[in-house]
Structure 1
Amino acid sequence: MPIPDFIRDLRRHIGHEPLWLSGVSAVVLDGTGRILLTHRADTHEWAVVSGVLEPGEEPARAVLREVAEETGIRAELVRLTSVDVTPMITYPNGDHSQYLDVCFLARHVDGEPHAADDENTDVAWFPADDLPEDLAETSRLRIQNALRDDPAAWFRR
């Protein structure tokens, strides 16, 4: 589901005005250390799995839901890796949104990845040292922070 119902309802009132949302993302690794990326239908960039929290939803549950919905796999969470704020995003339909993102490192448990919803056109594993050129900048930062050998979550100081 590209636009959650609660956001669609808000947009009826505010139109394309900027909307502040809570989001989650996951840097999912397989057993060989490859990173799972999705090719987004809206921006045409590769990105880590991400999504919007439903009202009242816990971030950890939300990110596992997003991984399953977008890629068809099951993952388990390893740790929180970063908390940051995205730049303002303008979507092709004219909507403006900015996100507080809570990012997790996750490990693939089972399932064969595929584009399991209409938000993505492709899903694939990539070696950490051979990421696609058209990788979203926010995803580059999230991957960099997730792969740091530091159990503390990164945030801007």
Structure 2
Amino acid sequence: MATPDFIRALRADAGQQLLWLPGITAIVFDDEGRVLLGRRSDNGRWSAIGGIPEPGEQPAECAVREVYEETAVRCVPERVVLVQALEPVTYPNGDTCQFMDITLRCRAVGGEACVNDDESLEVAWFSVDALPDLHEFSLSRIKQALADDPTWFEPVRER
């Protein structure tokens, strides 16, 4: 995922300290029930499509923008699948972030899936019973998007 300019500006002041950031994941299905995935250029792994919203950008707008930017597919968000605070991550350059992920189930409405920027090596549709090797992050979100369950969130812990 390319670092947005507004985060570069934040880093100029904040240094490498932990930044709490929103993240959007789009689980996109086509009319055949296949899911859209991209093989990331930063680690070579297949993954769900996602990114960081621009300041003031709504989660659904971000999902639509990120899916189009990365895959040339047009989509419509249908529902919130889950909301989850992720574990902090430290990047090779020492920057530390923690994301609040909002995952949206989306329906493809146009475009032809192809690599549309430098964040992906490949883009493809996969049958949900023939997925490539995926990190648990993407796999769990696909499963949740397929379920007809309410929005998932981490339960409140007893105090």
TM-score normalised by the chain length of structure 2: 0.91
Name 1:130's counterpart in structure 2: 130
Distance, in Å, in 2 between the alignment partners of 1:116 and 1:60 is: 20
- CA displacement, residues 83-121 of structure 1 (integer Å, 9 cap, x when unaligned): 112222233333221110111111111111112111111
Name 2:105's counterpart in structure 1: 105
Change (3 A) 1:92 1:132: farther
Taking the TM superposition and a 5 Å limit, the aligned residue runs for 1:8-157 are: 8-133=8-133, 135-150=134-149, 152-157=150-155
Tell me how many residue pairs correspond in the alignment.
155
Secondary structure, counterpart of 2:105 in structure 1: strand
Gaps of 5+ in 2: none
Distance, in Å, in 2 between the alignment partners of 1:13 and 1:139 is: 32
- CA displacement, residues 1-52 of structure 1 (integer Å, 9 cap, x when unaligned): 8111110111122333222100111110011111100111123221111100
Distance, in Å, in 1 between the alignment partners of 2:132 and 2:11 is: 33
- Overall identity of the aligned pairs, in %: 46
Secondary structure, counterpart of 1:125 in structure 2: strand
Residue 123 of structure 1: how far off its partner (Å): 0.7
- CA displacement, residues 40-87 of structure 1 (integer Å, 9 cap, x when unaligned): 112322111110011111111111111111111101111111111222
Distance, in Å, in 2 between the alignment partners of 1:148 and 1:5 is: 36
Gaps of 5+ in 1: none
Runs of 4+ in 1 over 3 A off after TM superposition: none
TM-score normalised by the chain length of structure 1: 0.92
**AA in 2 matched with 1:154:** W
**AA in 1 matched with 2:147:** R
